[in-house]
Structure 1
Amino acid sequence: MIHPIIQTWDKSEDCWLWEGITCDKSLNLSRNYFQYPNISFGFNRWKSLTYLNLSDSGFMDGSPLLDEISLLSKLVSLDLSLNFIWKLVDPLLLDNIKFQMLVHNLKELRFLILDSVNMSLVLPSSLLNLTSSLEYLSLHDYLQNNYLTRPIDHVEKPSLFLQEVYFSNNEISGSIPSSFFDLVHLTRVDLSSNNLTGTITLDMLSKLVDLEDLDLSNNCLLSLSNNGIAVNYSFPNLWSLKFSSCNVHKFPSFLRKAKRLNALDISKKKISGQIHKWEIERMSLQTLNLSYNFLTGIDLFGFGNLRIVDLKSNLLQGSLPFLSTTWASMLFFISRNNLTGEIPSSYCNTSLKVLVLANNRLGGKILECLGSLSDLNILDLQMNKFHGRIPNLFVNNCFLLTLNLNGNQLEGILPRSLVNCSMLEILDVGNNNLNDTFPHWLGVLPSLKLRIIDVAQNDFMGLLPSNYFKILEGMRDVAPTDKVKLEYIDDNMECFSGSGSCTVFTDSYKDSVKVVMKGLLVELTRILKVFTTIDFSSNQFHGPIPDELGELNSLLSLNLSHNSLNGQILSSLGKLAELESLDLSSNKLEGRIPEQLTKLTFLSVLNLSHDELVGHILEGKQFNTFSNDSYVGNSGLCGFPLTKKCEEPRPPSSQFDGENDFIAVFEWKFALAGYGCGLVLGLSLGYIAFTTRKPWWVVKKVEKYQ
């Protein structure tokens, strides 16, 4: 039965005139699909509208929407960001004329969001010369669509209200004009990742009396001067300063007076020598990033406020710094230096969540008291000289996500207390001297979240038990990158409320493991959750390959080479639909290569050499791309690409369904000398980076679906 009030509604009237209907002045139509170019949506009738969100809606340049919006003179907030559909609809394009027509009547506009809108034909200064009421202006370019390329010209009418400006990830060139700093009420400025040049002086910055957050990172030729008549200015409100990858050669001494400074990032510069305690002791720092410099010493420990310290990739020498038991730091990165000695026992009395000491020359035994760090999420000691047994340090309530001990001199067995770490996603103990049976005892867990397991180059032995592979839930049914939000393994880390530490953490720590992948020893950093790999190579495993391996349908790399595995290659491996690299070489595998492997349409590296395989080499699809090296050392194999011809005709083969488009999860890049302005080949958009560790100069680069 229809309610009596509803029966009074007249369809010929506007709905806000109906009894029982109330309307506010806000309209959120984000995440729709307004691709129809000639349809009027009637926005021009809503004269009192103050808030309009049309973000992520894919409307096209010819749509009358922009003309209608320009008539909404009461608008206070307008969001047109992310208006494109990947590979279907190009980003919304606003040239100078369209932009001026859009905003000329919006005199009360306070918030304007145009992230990832194509603004390549608009002068940045025209954006800053908008209505005097504007407070918030955002043109972040998350997917390289804005392409602001021109310099910021003179700001003619500095707004008395503009507080936040975000122009990051564009291609703005030239110097920042002094008139920009006449926007005296700016509190947050983000001009990072552009092509800015010139010098910013203290006199310029001191005009921004309300400045809280300044990000000028990744502008290679932009300099910061300590000189000027405002040399004694205290920056009373400055809370965060990011000047990474800019042209700075020494510690900015003027920051000593910035007592409220909470987060400081001056990484990837050319700062050398030593930083002394007195240079930063008056600040309220919780986050300090000095990574990728040329520092030889630093005296900063004992500060109770520090929670994140990143000193990786410097020239630090000597012993590890002492950590006070009262020190509040929770994330500590000091990898890739020249440190020696042992881990001080004082580290066991801190509240560390992350301890990254990788790629130094540290030695001695791993402290068993590290087990008292009940909140520890990441322990990365790879590529050092630690020896002895891995202590039984994994407590009942283990919250460890990453354990990386690769490349040391550890011996003995894996500690059985590791079974307590049910949240573990990366287990890397490769390249040690461990002597143990297969860790089948992990099979007592109902499920494992492991996505990367590497026990290569040790002395593990025994069968590969099927019950273990049954519980590897982290390698099964992981959605591909085109269906899920990109997530990284370290995203499970907690953030520090109100400290801005989430962003700094993702910049500071990138899970790093070395795996043999596609014929190379490769270092993986910032690992996507869709990346899954098993490396059991160079041990003494024997027996057949478990059929359950074929159920790990999200596995991307499988390396069982250089063991004593026997039996046949299982046809169930053909179900590993995402597999890109398969290495079963140097075992005792026999029989024919199963035809089901031709289903592996992503497979780009195959190594079946030095086994006891017989029969015809498979043809078609990916198998037409493999070379002689994939099959050498199998006297019973014949056919292309081997020179040995087959005496018997090839048996008839069944046809599998058509090929998939090649969508890979990887981007390969060479890490050459330098960062920021240095030479980098194959620069990715930041999803995942691989750095080669052997002198191969040709690495297959595969297209990544963004």
Structure 2
Amino acid sequence: MGNNGFLLPLMVFVVVLSNSVANLSAESPNATIDQLALLALKAHVTHDPLNLLATNWTSGTSVCNWIGVTCGSHHERVTTLDLSKMSLIGTIPPHLGNLSFLSRLNIGFNHFHGSLPMELANLSSLKYINFRHNNFRGEIPAWFDSFTQLHSLLLYSNNFSGVIPSSLGSLSNLEKLILYDNDLKGQIPIAIGNLSKLKRLYLDNNQLSGQIPSAVFKCKALEFLSLTDNVLEGSVPQEIGNLTRLRYLYLDNNNLTGQLPSALFKCQELEELNLSQNALKGSVPQEIGNLTKVISLHLYRNNLTGKIPTTIGSLSVLRYLYLGYNSLTGQLPLTLFKCQELEDLLLSNNSLEGSVPQEIGNLTKLRWLNLSKNNLTGRDTDNATDKTQ
């Protein structure tokens, strides 16, 4: 009985001590820094339609239990902040730069606006940034070069303006640079060529001008390259042949001139090639038959001349062929009808001649056919629908 009387106050002491230690841990300086940074972000959110932050981000619970927050397994510091697709409206406070362990930052598909505070440059551990589909304005900061570990930079579908900073060329670990659908101007910086690990480069739907720098084609790891819907000019550099891993190339709707570079057809991993709506001239070279993996080939609305090369029959997986609105001549090559995966065949508005071969019946998967505005003979060549218009 005497022992029990001693144990009871001892147990109470242990419980009180444990609670005190827990409270001290919860209020440790490092944890408090992260909590204050996130509460500052919450205060800068002016509209939280789903009440996710309003009801969940409270000082009574650990930040590691807050929605969109992940902490490290060996410490209670924030490593991931993912607030994507929450329909939030607000601005980014400078306090966010205090999340010194942050490696992933995703606020995509919201309505954040304003410019990015310089204090974010303190986030030297960042590996992934996703600000897509917001309303950020101003220039892409030159201090993004502080993110030396960054492998993905996704800033597309915002209102960023100005030039692409050359400082991005120092991000030696960068694999994805996606800046499309902004209001960027000026030339593509030569420093992009320093990104030896770059696999995806999307700069489309901006107002970029000047020539495509040959330095871009030093990025030999590139698999996706899209420069569509800019005002680029000049010829496609022969150095494009260095991109032997390239699978998707989109250069359409620019002011490119010159001939199709023969080196292009060294890119034998190409699955989609779009050079439409430029001012390219010359013939389609026989080397096009090297692109045996190409599924989609768009060369319409250029100034191409000469015959459709017979080697086109080597494109056995080709599904979409768009050569309309050029000045192609000669007859339809019989080899074309070996491309039995074709679903869309659009050759309208050229100067093709002769009869339409019976072998066209081999194209059993054909959905769209337009041979109109040529000098072809046969039935219904002028009664097809052209979806390239």
TM range (shorter): 0.7 to 0.9
Q: 1:326 to 1:287 in 2, by over 3 A?
A: closer
Aligned counterparts, 1:421-436, within 5 A: 421-436=219-234
**Counterpart for residue 311 of structure 1:** 107
Give the distance between the partners of 1:373 and 1:350, measured in 2 at CA. 7
Q: 1:250 to 1:346 in 2, by over 3 A?
A: same
Q: 1:255 to 1:452 in 2, by over 3 A?
A: farther
Q: CA deviation at 1:592?
A: 1.1
**In 1, are the aligned partners of 2:342 and 2:366 still within 8 Å (CA)?**
no
Aligned counterparts, 1:192-271, within 5 A: 249-251=51-53, 252-253=56-57, 257-258=61-62, 260=64, 265=68
**In 2, are the aligned partners of 1:289 and 1:311 still within 8 Å (CA)?**
yes
**Counterpart for residue 347 of structure 1:** 144
**Counterpart for residue 191 of structure 1:** none
**In 2, are the aligned partners of 1:465 and 1:546 still within 8 Å (CA)?**
no
Q: CA deviation at 1:626?
A: 5.0
**In 1, are the aligned partners of 2:133 and 2:158 still within 8 Å (CA)?**
yes
**Counterpart for residue 370 of structure 1:** 168
Q: 1:643 to 1:380 in 2, by over 3 A?
A: closer
The SS at the match of 1:399 is: coil
Q: What are structure 2's unaligned runs of at least 5 residues?
A: 1-25, 27-48, 70-74
Q: Deviations over 1:539-566 (max 9, x none)?
A: 1111111111112111110001111111
Q: CA deviation at 1:595?
A: 1.6
Give the distance between the partners of 1:626 and 1:608, measured in 2 at CA. 14
**Counterpart for residue 294 of structure 2:** 555
CA-based RMSD = 2.5
**Counterpart for residue 325 of structure 1:** 122
**Counterpart for residue 472 of structure 1:** 267
Output the amino acid matched with 1:460.
Answer: L
Candidates 589, 609, 623, aligned match of 2:328: 589
**Counterpart for residue 540 of structure 1:** 279
Q: 1:625 to 1:324 in 2, by over 3 A?
A: closer
Number of residue pairs the alignment of both structures matches: 323
Give the distance between the partners of 2:381 and 2:233, measured in 1 at CA. 38
Q: What are structure 1's unaligned runs of at least 5 residues?
A: 1-233, 235-246, 267-281, 476-531, 645-695, 697-706
Candidates 640, 651, 655, aligned match of 2:379: 640
Runs of 4+ in 1 over 6 A off after TM superposition: none
**In 1, are the aligned partners of 2:248 and 2:272 still within 8 Å (CA)?**
yes
**Counterpart for residue 288 of structure 1:** 81
* Larger RCO (alpha carbons 8 Å, 6+ apart): 2
The SS at the match of 2:116 is: coil
The SS at the match of 1:534 is: strand
**In 1, are the aligned partners of 2:190 and 2:213 still within 8 Å (CA)?**
yes
1:575 aligns with 2:314: yes
Give the distance between the partners of 1:256 and 1:554, measured in 2 at CA. 58
Q: 1:376 to 1:627 in 2, by over 3 A?
A: closer
Q: CA deviation at 1:458?
A: 0.9
**In 1, are the aligned partners of 2:293 and 2:315 still within 8 Å (CA)?**
yes
Give the distance between the partners of 1:594 and 1:347, measured in 2 at CA. 53
Q: CA deviation at 1:259?
A: 5.3
**In 2, are the aligned partners of 1:302 and 1:324 still within 8 Å (CA)?**
no
**Counterpart for residue 358 of structure 1:** 156
Give the distance between the partners of 1:411 and 1:543, measured in 2 at CA. 23
Output the amino acid matched with 1:257.
Answer: T
Q: CA deviation at 1:432?
A: 0.5
**In 1, are the aligned partners of 2:342 and 2:365 still within 8 Å (CA)?**
no
Candidates 331, 344, 348, aligned match of 1:605: 344
Q: 1:605 to 1:256 in 2, by over 3 A?
A: farther
**In 1, are the aligned partners of 2:107 and 2:132 still within 8 Å (CA)?**
yes
Give the distance between the partners of 1:325 and 1:415, measured in 2 at CA. 32
Percentage identity across paired residues of the two chains:
31
1:338 aligns with 2:135: yes
Give the distance between the partners of 2:240 and 2:187, measured in 1 at CA. 19
Give the distance between the partners of 2:337 and 2:381, measured in 1 at CA. 18
Higher helix share: 2
Q: 1:294 to 1:624 in 2, by over 3 A?
A: closer
Give the distance between the partners of 1:430 and 1:316, measured in 2 at CA. 26
Query: Structure 1 length as normaliser, TM-score?
Result: 0.43
Q: 1:549 to 1:435 in 2, by over 3 A?
A: same
Q: Deviations over 1:96-126 (max 9, x none)?
A: xxxxxxxxxxxxxxxxxxxxxxxxxxxxxxx
Output the amino acid matched with 1:631.
Answer: L
Give the distance between the partners of 1:324 and 1:577, measured in 2 at CA. 50
Give the distance between the partners of 2:160 and 2:213, measured in 1 at CA. 21
Q: CA deviation at 1:256?
A: 6.4
Query: Structure 2 length as normaliser, TM-score?
Result: 0.77
Does 289-298 or 423-432 show the bigger shift? Answer: 289-298
1:631 aligns with 2:371: yes
Q: CA deviation at 1:358?
A: 0.4
Give the distance between the partners of 2:216 and 2:279, measured in 1 at CA. 22
Q: CA deviation at 1:593?
A: 1.2
Candidates 229, 244, 267, aligned match of 1:448: 244
Candidates 326, 351, 363, aligned match of 1:622: 363
Output the amino acid matched with 2:267.
Answer: L
The SS at the match of 1:339 is: strand
**In 2, are the aligned partners of 1:347 and 1:370 still within 8 Å (CA)?**
yes
